[in-house]
Amino acid sequence: MKKIVIATDFMESSDGALAYATFLAEQFNAELSVVHVYFPVASADPTIPYENITPFSLQEDLIDTFESKLKEVVESLKSKKIKATSELVTGSVSSSVSSYAEDKGADLIVVGKTPENSFFDRLIGSSASDIVKSTSIPVLIVPTASHKPAFGNIVYGTELESEEKEVLGKVFKLAEKLGSKVTLIKVNADFEPDIQDDNQVLADIKKSFPKGRFSFEAVSADHVSEGLLHAAHTHKADVLVVARHHHNFLSEIVNPSKSKEIIGKTDIPLLVYDLEA
């Protein structure tokens, strides 16, 4: 992991994300790029000139304020001997963050989230899920209350498919670097057919990753997302990991209709990989 992008809105929802991004940058000696997305308010009436909606002087003041805050964040990071840069970009949150991270060649995107108690909170949650959908870069979503970075116990939601091996390799590599314990959790739901034999796939995982220490548990639940979150709490997970899949049960977690649900409900930092990256 050489480059990490942290998206910030300078609010409490970003504090935990910044703490996690800082921790990982220190552990991996990675460069940290801080980005803030400025989305100007526009009128629904296209005939009204934009400058009549938001005065140009106000726009300039806002931009100056954001750039000043970005500078403060970067200076704080550099005081901790972390390589850091920043940029203010204009546009929608999801597309701007994704594009920025891709342009930077980022290995990870870190974003914060708040509980879905209001329309604005749901909007932020939607932005996080939209970022997940719009990029193949792994995304770490950090709840507001998570201010003390911890990776001691990683729970990975698996379907036990052979095509997950590349993601599992990344998880085991992360765990080895951070000294983490890994627990694989498979959620058996009535609607999900069991295509491959679990024991056979587990044997293959052990053979492919002889140094990858992990435990495994299968649980039953009506809904995959709820079952996985319950299991993560039972195992006192510090981080919950899922692989973004476009075709099977994990798509229930990260497809357009379900991603907001898991992102909105989780109070555990959630790391999402793109299985098809």
Whether pLDDT at 264 is above 90 = no
Whether residues 199 and 131 share a domain: the answer is no
- Picking from 35-49, 121-135, 166-180, which range would have the lowest pLDDT averaged per residue? 35-49
Per residue in 140-179, pLDDT (tens digit) is 999 987 879 999 999 999 888 777 889 999 999 999 999 9
Whether residues 212 and 232 share a domain: the answer is yes
Domain that holds residue 79: 3-143
Whether residues 10 and 59 share a domain: the answer is yes
* Residue 46 is assigned to a structural domain of this protein: yes
Per residue in 188-227, pLDDT (tens digit) is 876 655 566 888 889 999 999 988 889 999 999 888 888 8
Distance CA 158, CA 224 (A): 11
Whether residues 54 and 171 share a domain: the answer is no
201-224 as b/e, with b when 16 or more CB fall inside 10 Å?
A: bbeebeeebeebebebeeeebebb
Among 100, 119, 143, identify where a domain stops: 143
- Picking from 73-87, 210-224, 237-251, which range would have the lowest pLDDT averaged per residue? 237-251
Whether pLDDT at 12 is above 90 = no
Whether residues 252 and 157 share a domain: the answer is yes
pLDDT score at 273: 92
pLDDT score at 256: 40
- Picking from 99-108, 129-138, 194-203, which range would have the lowest pLDDT averaged per residue? 194-203
* Residue 148 is assigned to a structural domain of this protein: no
Give me the number of domains the chain comprises.
2
Whether pLDDT at 253 is above 90 = no
pLDDT category of residue 245 using cuts at 50, 70 and 90: low
Among 99, 122, 143, identify where a domain stops: 143
pLDDT category of residue 84 using cuts at 50, 70 and 90: very high
Whether residues 200 and 251 share a domain: the answer is yes
* Residue 111 is assigned to a structural domain of this protein: yes
* Residue 102 is assigned to a structural domain of this protein: yes
Q: What mean pLDDT is reported for the chain? A: 82
pLDDT score at 93: 83
Contact 98, 134 (CB under 8 A): yes
pTM greater than 0.75 (yes/no): yes
SS3 of 41, please? coil
